[in-house]
């Protein structure tokens, strides 16, 4: 028929994907990451090969981490573009479930296309099939359902004509944005169908900017006018809405101080007078001090995660009101917050217009100066270069080596806390932290995604030895592809962050640092040699001075550049922070645990009193 084209389902999927555009006219799906197996190589593999000159397919070494690279790409581009990730059925698919959870927690778009069983069921059970003894429709891919914003199983070729528009609607909708999983039965991938040519006409997916409800707008405006101690909590939604300029203008016009979550950090320059810095468990004294006393808290694009709110023990003013400006109603109503369901940029502009010339009372003192007087010495070079450095000193060395094009990134362990407190982000997008899921193993793959998103940026990845050991295989991918970024591996010989938490809750040091785990012989890992074996340029440095010298060479390195430095696992920034609820055992033979339990119970009582 003249108005149709005969394609396999896999070919049709890729053809459709290639003509879906963002408002700038770019392909929304920028390429595919693939590890082929028997569940996708014959169908999707052949379809991708057929368009390899127009639509790039990248090869990863692990399904989870190649998905992390795709997710980091979308995060760095503020959700304006995304990538496809495909795997075989079975373990290849379930490896991606962790990445789907990461994307779900962070509200980030990624199109996951795992292979699935035969729709015909004729050869059941196929290799790697998970059988449910009471439900014949269950496969391994059902594990994606709770961590996908949209899930579909393609059992007939023509189902793509419904599923694909729904997938793109989800990935491009600010309120519903998140991972999409299309599980494609492997026989269906290869089946042909006469698709209408109109299905493949290019389409532009515009970002919807929802205006606030007039009643909600009026309520927040009235509350801001009445507030004596208001504060804005800037979350990741400020970046995704591209509202950083609007936030700056709003804060300046109305003299309202701003504090930043992990996802919101860099929304304002670190030295802006109204940026009081990081909030919460990994926050600083200026932000947490003003939040404790605030009578109005306006969250913008934040989920109010427990690390942000100090497990909801941070906001202590009994007269406080919490407003949540969020494009997602689910997030806007958490913990009895008064919702303002709207796009961040549009809402800030309309709230500002309604406020007119109103300004909040001026801050009483320059609390930032006293904060930096405390923490800046922690990041200074040590007097004794032979002493094992702290993580804070490593942060300081990288900070001194950074410039306007630097993006610093991390995800889990010690560095997220230290960077949130100490890193001085000077422009939006210069701080990339995955702390919605805090997934160990995101770092190296994430650095690849950032560099692919913004090739001109100087990407510096912080990772500990524990995280490096969990997921380092994409270092070989970066070397193979010639993707240049710097990895600073801080080797504290174990899980130093959790070891400190263990000690902080009264526990004995156990099974976190390598020295406290079962060993037949002492563990020694030469990370520099390991990275070099995968194709990276690498160096082991013995001091902060040597680290700074190594960092100075990074611009001349092609491909991944790994700098390894031993660090002390015990010190952390002693200033700032707030309570975080970590349950301490009620019964223990150890007096340290008994004492910490008493402190824990007192903190619970204090929070309950604050909530009344």
95-151 pLDDT, tens per residue? 999 999 999 999 999 999 999 999 999 999 999 999 999 999 999 999 999 999 999
Q: What band does 601 get if pLDDT is binned at 50, 70 and 90? A: very high
Considering the domain architecture, whether residues 287 and 430 belong to the same structural domain is answered as no
Considering the domain architecture, whether residues 343 and 373 belong to the same structural domain is answered as no
**Mean of the per-residue pLDDT values for the chain?**
97
Q: Is the pLDDT of residue 455 over 60?
A: yes
Per-residue pLDDT, 611? 76
Last residue of a domain, one of 171, 204, 237: 204
User: Considering only CA atoms, which of 372, 375, 380, 417 is closest in space to residue 396?
Assistant: 380
Considering the domain architecture, whether residues 358 and 383 belong to the same structural domain is answered as no
Residue 79, SS3 per DSSP: coil
Q: Is the pLDDT of residue 9 over 90?
A: yes
Considering the domain architecture, whether residues 65 and 174 belong to the same structural domain is answered as yes
pLDDT digits (tens, 9 = 90+) for 173-192: 999 999 999 999 999 999 99
| Residue 592 lies inside a defined structural domain of this protein | no
Q: Tally the domains of the chain.
A: 3
d(CA 185, CA 202): 26
Q: Is the pLDDT of residue 463 over 70?
A: yes
Considering the domain architecture, whether residues 498 and 349 belong to the same structural domain is answered as no
Considering the domain architecture, whether residues 221 and 343 belong to the same structural domain is answered as yes
Q: Can you tell me the mean pLDDT for 560-566?
A: 98
| Residue 608 lies inside a defined structural domain of this protein | no
pLDDT digits (tens, 9 = 90+) for 361-418: 988 668 899 999 999 999 999 988 889 999 999 999 999 999 999 999 999 999 999 9
Q: Can you tell me the mean pLDDT for 224-233?
A: 98
| Residue 10 lies inside a defined structural domain of this protein | yes
CATH at 525: 3.40.50.970
| Residue 236 lies inside a defined structural domain of this protein | yes
| C-alpha separations of 517 from 464, 506, 512 in Å | 18, 18, 7
Contact 267, 370 (CB under 8 A): no
Q: Can you tell me the mean pLDDT for 593-611?
A: 93
Q: Percentage of residues in the chain with pLDDT exceeding 70?
A: 99
Give the dihedral sign, CA 508/512/517/521.
negative
Considering the domain architecture, whether residues 386 and 300 belong to the same structural domain is answered as no
577: left (phi over 0), alpha (psi -120 to 50) or beta: left
| C-alpha separations of 143 from 117, 120, 139, 395 in Å | 14, 21, 8, 38
d(CA 34, CA 86): 5
Q: Is the pLDDT of residue 612 over 80?
A: no
Angle between helices 214-226 and 344-355 (to 10 degrees): 60
Considering the domain architecture, whether residues 360 and 373 belong to the same structural domain is answered as no
User: Considering only CA atoms, which of 295, 307, 195 is closest in space to residue 580?
Assistant: 307
pLDDT digits (tens, 9 = 90+) for 313-368: 999 999 999 999 999 999 999 989 999 999 999 999 999 999 999 999 988 668 89
Q: Percentage of residues in the chain with pLDDT exceeding 90?
A: 95
Supply the range of the domain harboring residue 57.
Answer: 4-204
Last residue of a domain, one of 344, 364, 384: 364
Q: Can you tell me the mean pLDDT for 450-471?
A: 98
């Amino acid at each position: 028929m003249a108005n149709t084209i005969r394609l396999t389902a896999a070919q049709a999927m890729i053809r459709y994907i290639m003509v879906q555009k963002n408002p700038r006219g770019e392909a929304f799906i920028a390429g595919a990451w693939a590890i082929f197996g028997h569940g996708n190589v014959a169908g999707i593999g052949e379809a991708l090969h057929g368009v390899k000159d127009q639509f790039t397919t990248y090869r990863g070494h692990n399904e989870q981490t190649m998905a992390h690279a795709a997710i980091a790409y979308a995060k760095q581009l503020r959700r304006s573009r995304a990538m496809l990730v495909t795997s075989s059925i079975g373990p290849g698919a379930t490896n991606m479930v962790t990445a789907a959870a990461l994307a779900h927690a962070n509200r980030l778009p990624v199109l996951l296309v795992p292979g699935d069983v035969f729709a015909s069921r004729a050869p059941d059970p196929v290799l790697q099939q998970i059988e449910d003894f009471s439900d014949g429709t269950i496969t391994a891919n059902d594990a994606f359902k709770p961590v996908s914003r949209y899930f579909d199983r393609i059992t007939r070729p023509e189902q793509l004509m419904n599923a694909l528009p729904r997938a793109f609607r989800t990935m491009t909708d600010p309120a519903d944005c998140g991972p999409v999983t299309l599980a494609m039965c492997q026989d269906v991938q290869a089946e042909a169908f006469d698709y209408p040519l109109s299905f493949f006409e290019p389409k532009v997916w515009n970002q919807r900017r929802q205006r606030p409800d007039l009643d909600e707008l009026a309520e927040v405006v009235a509350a801001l006018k009445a507030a004596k101690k208001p504060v804005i909590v800037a979350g990741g939604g400020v970046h995704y809405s591209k509202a950083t300029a609007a936030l700056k203008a709003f804060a300046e016009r109305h003299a309202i101080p701003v504090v930043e979550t992990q996802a919101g950090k860099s929304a304002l320059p670190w030295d802006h007078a109204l940026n009081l810095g990081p909030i919460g468990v990994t926050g600083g004294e200026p932000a947490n001090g003003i939040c404790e006393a605030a009578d109005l808290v306006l969250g913008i694009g934040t989920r109010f995660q427990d690390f942000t709110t100090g497990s909801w023990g941070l906001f202590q003013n009994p007269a406080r009101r919490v407003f949540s400006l969020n494009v997602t109603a689910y997030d806007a109503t958490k913990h009895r917050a008064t919702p303002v369901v709207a796009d961040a940029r549009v809402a800030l502009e309309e709230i500002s217009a309604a406020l007119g010339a109103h300004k909040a009372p001026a801050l009483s003192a320059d609390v930032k100066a006293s904060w930096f007087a405390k923490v800046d010495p922690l990041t200074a070079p040590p007097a004794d270069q032979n002493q094992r450095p702290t993580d804070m000193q490593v942060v300081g060395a990288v900070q001194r080596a950074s410039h306007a094009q630097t993006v610093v990134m991390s995800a889990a362990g010690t560095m997220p806390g230290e960077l949130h407190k100490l890193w001085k982000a000077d422009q939006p997008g210069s701080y990339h932290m995955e702390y919605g899921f805090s997934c160990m193993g995101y770092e190296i793959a994430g650095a690849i995604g950032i560099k692919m998103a913004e090739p001109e940026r100087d990407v510096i990845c912080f990772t500990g030895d524990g995280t490096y050991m969990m997921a380092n295989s994409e270092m070989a991918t970066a070397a193979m592809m010639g993707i240049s970024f710097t990895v600073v591996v801080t080797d504290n010989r174990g899980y130093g962050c959790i070891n400190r938490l263990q000690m902080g809750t009264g526990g004995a040091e156990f099974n976190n640092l390598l020295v406290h785990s079962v060993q037949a012989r002492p563990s020694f890992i030469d990370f520099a040699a390991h990275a070099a074996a995968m194709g990276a340029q690498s160096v082991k440095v013995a001091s902060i001075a040597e680290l700074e010298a190594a960092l100075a060479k990074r611009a001349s390195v092609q491909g991944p550049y790994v700098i390894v430095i031993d660090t002390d696992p015990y010190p952390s920034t002693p200033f700032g922070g707030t309570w975080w609820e970590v349950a301490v055992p009620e019964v223990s033979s150890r007096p340290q645990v008994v004492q910490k339990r008493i402190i824990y119970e007192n903190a619970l009582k204090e929070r309950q009193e604050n909530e009344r």
